[in-house]
Amino acid sequence: MSSPTFLTLHELVKRARQKLSHDSWDYIVGGAETETTVRRNRLALDSIAFRPRVLRDVSQVDASAKLLGRTLRLPLLLAPIGGLELFAPEAGAAAAMAARQFGIAHMLSSVCEPGLEAVARAAPDALRMFQLYVRGDAAWTDALAERAVAAGCSAFCLTVDTAYYSRRERDIAKRHSRSGPMPEREFQARVTWDDVARIKANCALPLVLKGIATAEDAILALEQGVDIIYVSNHGGRQLDHGRGAMEMLPEIVAAVGGRAPLIVDGGFCRGTDIVKALAAGADLVGLGRMQCIGLAAGGTAGLVRLLEILEQEIHICLGLLGVAAWNALDPSYLHPAAPLGAGDTLGAFPLLALEPNSFY
């Protein structure tokens, strides 16, 4: 498949917008209610400036990372996204193939085509994880965990910030909201730490909890033997008026104290964003909307290109910070700063001239 040569992330965002309907675009960029949490994700990132160090040898920058015994080319994960078929026909398989080709981790959503086994066949040797929304009883959940094992997944993830499906007004306004009555969604509201303990005991795979937003819950997760803590506010698509991901991270880093790897997502669009997360103590950063944009702009090739540009940005950022590898980075490289802009979802792309958001 030939792909146009995108030179900047701006060009990928622009192409994705040109190729998508207004509905699909709103599904990507939107959030819950006032979309305050969405904006806080960006504001929290934009409220951090760097304190660079100079005159160190940065001729060789190594931005690779390790997770679950595997080496990744960058400390990145393609976050679980439901409905990727809206953006690329091969949906989750297209994303997994990009993760495999580039060399980062992939997490498949349980509400994404073409499903667990087909994605495993498309990218058998990728570092693949499976994320579940609990939409059935204990036997149903345990059976899915078994399928994840059989499909060669490296970890099993429960998303735990979705007890209720939020009101996403961009979707509701168009009368095709996904928030209508769905009886199977009620299972998700009954999930407790007891279920986490049961799944941890029954499932052979490392367990990830996605949607941890406080130090208290991170500690409870560790007590249940959770293997990887995934700090997230669901990209601002669930609880409105939450904290930005980078606001939540420091207390969780302190509480976990290196006892488990930490993934963080929410608003990460640029190489500098990813460097900020790692300086603050995260091990891996999840890409949500940027993954949709890469796929919409050019399928697997578009997403690989997006990752290549992010890699260039990360290498330049690390080099300019005077840091040759992640283990040399720490919070002393970060400094509070007044954000420029209002924290718009695409605020990291100030040169874009998309049409104004004139939905209402």
Query: Can you give the binding site for ligand FNR, defined by CB under 6 A?
Result: 27-28, 41, 79-82, 109, 111, 131, 159, 210, 232, 234-235, 237, 265-268, 286-289, 292
Structure tokens of 40? 């806080």
Min dist. Cβ of residue 28 to ligand FNR (A): 5
Structure tokens of 326? 């992640």
- Cα–Cα distance between 199 and 225 in angstroms, integer? 10
Query: Measuring CA to CA, how many Å separate 228 from each of 64, 208, 280?
Result: 19, 5, 17
Min dist. Cβ of residue 234 to ligand FNR (A): 5
Min dist. Cβ of residue 270 to ligand FNR (A): 11
Min dist. Cβ of residue 52 to ligand FNR (A): 26
Q: Residue 20 or 260: which CB sits closer to ligand FNR?
A: 20
- Cα–Cα distance between 98 and 300 in angstroms, integer? 5
Min dist. Cβ of residue 135 to ligand FNR (A): 11
- Cα–Cα distance between 184 and 110 in angstroms, integer? 13
3-state DSSP helix/strand/coil % of the chain, to nearest 5: 45, 15, 40
Q: Residue 33 or 325: which CB sits closer to ligand FNR?
A: 33
Q: Residue 48 or 58: which CB sits closer to ligand FNR?
A: 48
Question: Residue with the closest Cβ to ligand FNR?
Answer: 288
Q: Residue 265 or 313: which CB sits closer to ligand FNR?
A: 265
Q: 76 with 105: CB under 8 angstroms?
A: yes
Structure tokens of 25? 């675009």
Q: Residue 111 or 197: which CB sits closer to ligand FNR?
A: 111
Of 268, 295, 290, nearest to 280 (Cα)? 268
- Cα–Cα distance between 3 and 300 in angstroms, integer? 9
Residues with a known catalytic role: 234
